[in-house]
Amino acid sequence: MAKLYFKFGAMGCSKTAQALITKFNYEERGMKVLLLKPAIDDREAAPIVRSRIGLQAPCVMVPDDMDLLQYYENECPGIDVIIVDECQFLTPEQVDQLGQVVLDHDIPVLCFGLSTDFMTHLFPGSKRLFEIAESITEIKSVCRCGAKATVNARFDDEGNIVYSGAQILIGGNDRYEAMCRRCWQKRRKEQELRGK
């Protein structure tokens, strides 16, 4: 029986690489994969999922108003599995639609993404996945101190950690670093003492 999977972790934990490896494993067994990525992640000029270690594959870009159940039913005959990268940017409604694909069509849906933003608040798409996914797995990441990283620290142009602002700011190593909460809080206190 198919499931809705949520595989989450902090920045740099290899979520995208694992999504692409999973895609390869299905295809190696002769199965057809639909690879999706929310359109808000516009770092690439082409519709592509690319990992930091260089793996990449073409994908379908998903705007906020795309009905994923309808898209699957109308555009995806013969698809055996759906894989979603950057799933935190899906709307809660789109997560529900993917859950319905699992129930109505017995197709596994594997969602890879962040759970929380730079302020440690859940993304709406991730929140919904925690609520309805049949399988939830954490992909671990490591802070510079060696502890488990759980915070996606956002940095400004001067290298200071940012503690307020819009939830979404697309970026990679240029803007974010995975940290443990202890190091994140320590940096916050140091910045407050410096008046930053």
What's the rounded Cα separation, in Å, for the pair 57 and 86? 14
What's the rounded Cα separation, in Å, for the pair 66 and 47? 15
Which tokens belong to 16? 């995208």
The one-letter code for the residue type at 21 is I
Among 160, 185, 194, residue whose Cα is nearest residue 175: 160
Question: Dihedral sign, CA of 183, 188, 194, 196?
Answer: positive
The one-letter code for the residue type at 1 is M
In the chain, the largest separation of any two C-alpha atoms, in whole Å, equals 59
C-alpha distances in angstroms, 104 versus 72, 124, 172? Answer: 11, 24, 36
Per the annotation, the verdict on 86 as an active-site residue is yes
Which candidate in 28, 73, 86, 177 is catalytic?
86
What's the rounded Cα separation, in Å, for the pair 131 and 168? 21
Q: Which residues are catalytic?
A: 86
